Amino acid sequence: MNHLFVDNLTVIDFAYLHATRGLVGESWIADVVLGGELDEQGMVFDFSNVKRTIKRVIDERVDHRLVIPRGYEGLQWQEDTPDTFTWQLTDGSHIEHRSPDEAVVWLSADKVVPSAVARLLEQELKAVLPGNVTTVEINLREEEIEGAYYHYVHGLKKHLGNCQRIAHGHRSPIRIDRNGYRDYHLESRWAKLWQDIYVGTEEDVTRRFVGEDGNLYLTFEYEANQGEFALTLPDQRVYMVDTDSTVEFIAAHIADKLKVEFPEDEIRVKAYEGVGKGAIAKR
């Protein structure tokens, strides 16, 4: 059998639900291997069609969505409100989410792992690739990061694309320089502060309440051009900002906080949004 491979085809930035970590932002790099017979061009699949077909399917199916493992025992929803579900965490708290169908992915598994998401994508691709392609292998992997990083989830209601979805996320490195020198301690401190965090915008909060479990909860709601979105989660899993949570605002927020802490120092924050992209703020 002949094989064609494409490494680093795309990066999928998404969020998923975990029993203990809660709402997790993630960024996975996708590598693809296709196997099959050669076509009349002497190819398994034309490279020029890889991005138009394979990358499109991967991006449309998972990128900027919330992945929900349907087999998780703590997942609950009502038949009369299929767009709303509740996710029970092992610490007794819960997360509630409501959105249009296009903002979520239902996974036939009890937890979200790269192999389970890869199988879903492989099945989708087999349905759209030509008949001479007989095998599809997708490898999903995290970026190798030297230094601190965090997982965060957010939603950007003003965005005209898929970033408007209230629960999508990223696995992101951060670099902080003080007076021209990298400060690994500050990087680690912010990474710990933002470990598995939801970055919430104050103007999107519609309710604060104490649940039956004794936890303080926040509900975020907004309407965007894809529909109505709502998310309720425990206060301790949220980091609040006064602005929208674009990466530009995130970099500026961190830089402003550090400038207050170190008013005499020159601060430079390089905040990533997933792999290889982000924003820089200097103070």
Instruction: Give the pLDDT of the chain (283 residues) as one tens digit per residue.
Output: 899 899 999 999 999 999 999 999 999 999 999 988 888 787 778 777 887 889 999 999 999 999 999 999 999 987 667 689 999 999 999 999 999 999 999 999 999 999 999 999 999 998 888 888 899 999 999 999 999 999 999 999 999 999 999 999 999 999 999 999 999 999 999 999 999 999 999 999 999 999 999 999 999 999 999 999 999 999 999 999 999 999 999 999 999 999 999 999 999 999 999 999 999 999 9
**Torsion region of 137: left, alpha or beta (phi above 0 gives left; psi -120 to 50 gives alpha):** beta
What pLDDT is recorded for position 37?
A: 87
- CA dihedral 124→125→128→130, nearest 10 degrees, is -150
Instruction: Quote the pLDDT of residue 227.
Output: 95
Query: Measured in Å, how far apart are the chain's first and last C-alpha atoms?
Result: 57
Alpha-carbon distance of 251 to 66, in angstroms, equals: 24
Instruction: Please tell me the predicted confidence (pLDDT) of residue 42.
Output: 78
101 three-state secondary structure: helix
- Cα distances (angstroms) measured from residue 87 to each of 6, 42, 45, 95, 107: 36, 50, 41, 5, 14
The angle at the Cα of 180, spanning 174 to 185, to the nearest 5 degrees, equals 45
d(CA 190, CA 43): 48
Rounded to two decimals, what is the model's pTM?
Answer: 0.94
Q: Which of 204, 277, 275 is nearest to 242 (CA)?
A: 204
Contact between residue 118 and residue 129 where contact means Cβ atoms under 8 Å apart: no
Task: Identify the CA nearest to 171 among candidates 190, 193, 198, 143.
Answer: 143
**Of 231, 25, 238, whose CA–CA distance to 112 is shortest?**
25
What is the DSSP annotation of 188-221? HHHHHHTTTEEEEEGGGEEEEEE-TTS-EEEEEE
**What pLDDT score was predicted for residue 28?**
98
Residues 280, 62: Cα–Cα separation, whole Å: 28
- Does the domain at 2-282 match CATH 3.30.479.10? Answer given as yes
The single-letter code of the amino acid at 245 is S
pLDDT of residue 280: 98
pLDDT at 43: 76
Per-residue confidence (pLDDT) for residue 40, from 0 to 100: 79
